[in-house]
Amino acid sequence: MKFFVDTADTADIRDLAATGLLDGVTTNPSLIHKSGRAFLEVVEEICGLVDGPVSAEVVALDHETMMKEAEVLRKIADNVCIKVPLTIDGLKTCKALTDEGTFVNVTLCFSANQALLAAKAGASFISPFVGRHDDNGFDGMALIQDIRLIYDNYGFDTEILVASVRHPIHVLESARIGADVMTAPPAVIRMLSKHVLTDKGLEGFAADWAKTGQSIL
């Protein structure tokens, strides 16, 4: 499973990229606002930190303006992936961009039917929001299972990019189901390395090593 990080904080991206874990980055207007930086500037910097896709989202709601915004965004770098909403205008934009060879991430997906539409429009990635789905009383991981089944039934190439990941269990269940990609905040990715027994083991080894009075350096 590919790991994307969901942030516009370049310090976090640089730190996680050094681990070799990152396969891409997702951003959205809220994350850009949180960064306090100019949109095009931060996307350009992110594209220089990772080799994989960097999702940059259009903010227009109509197809014509989405295409104009996409034209600006995809000139930033070769690894820019245009992010569009799952609306009829977004699907039109997806079709037009993918026909031109541009990677497209269709976002704000909350149903398997929506995911089916995105795949038929040629989306590179579909982003179902599992955390927000859970928040509203629905089973987010059941949605991923449904999308996986449908895509496998018909041989769609669209990659399932699990979004709105809130905790390590979302990551585990996504991997079990066979999602292609997950995107999570930096804190959640770091949490994946944590285990109480790992911490206890390190404490024990450190205490025993100190008793030897030795030093490797």
Distance of CA 82 to the CA centre of its chain: 13
Average pLDDT over residues 113-138: 96
How high is the pLDDT of residue 214? 96
Average pLDDT over residues 87-116: 98
How high is the pLDDT of residue 55? 98
pLDDT confidence bin for 21, thresholds 50/70/90: very high
Which long-range contacts (C-beta less than 8 Å, at least 24 apart) are formed by 133-139?
Answer: 133/164, 134/166, 138/110
Task: Tell me which amino acid residue 36 is.
Answer: G
Q: Residue 160 in 3-state DSSP?
A: strand
Calpha distance 211→62 (Å, rounded)? 68
Question: Residue 13 in contact with residue 31, Cβ under 8 Å?
Answer: no
Calpha distance 87→109 (Å, rounded)? 10
Give the tens place of pLDDT for each residue, 34-54. 999 999 999 999 999 999 999
Active site residues: 83
Give the tens place of pLDDT for each residue, 196-206. 999 999 999 99
Calpha distance 143→162 (Å, rounded)? 10
pLDDT confidence bin for 74, thresholds 50/70/90: very high
Average pLDDT taken over every residue of the chain? 97
**Residue bearing tokens 């992936």:** 81
Domain ranges for the chain, please list them. Answer: 2-212
Give the tens place of pLDDT for each residue, 167-182. 999 999 999 999 999 9
**118 burial class (0-12, 13-18, 19+ CB within 10 angstroms)?**
buried
pLDDT > 70: percent of the chain: 100
pLDDT confidence bin for 83, thresholds 50/70/90: very high
Calpha distance 157→16 (Å, rounded)? 28
Q: Which CATH number is 2-212's, of 3.20.20.70, 3.40.50.1980, 3.30.70.1170, 3.40.640.10?
A: 3.20.20.70
Which segments of the chain are extended strands (E)? Answer: 2-6, 24-26, 54-57, 80-85, 104-109, 125-128, 159-162, 181-184
How high is the pLDDT of residue 24? 98
How high is the pLDDT of residue 118? 98
How high is the pLDDT of residue 79? 98
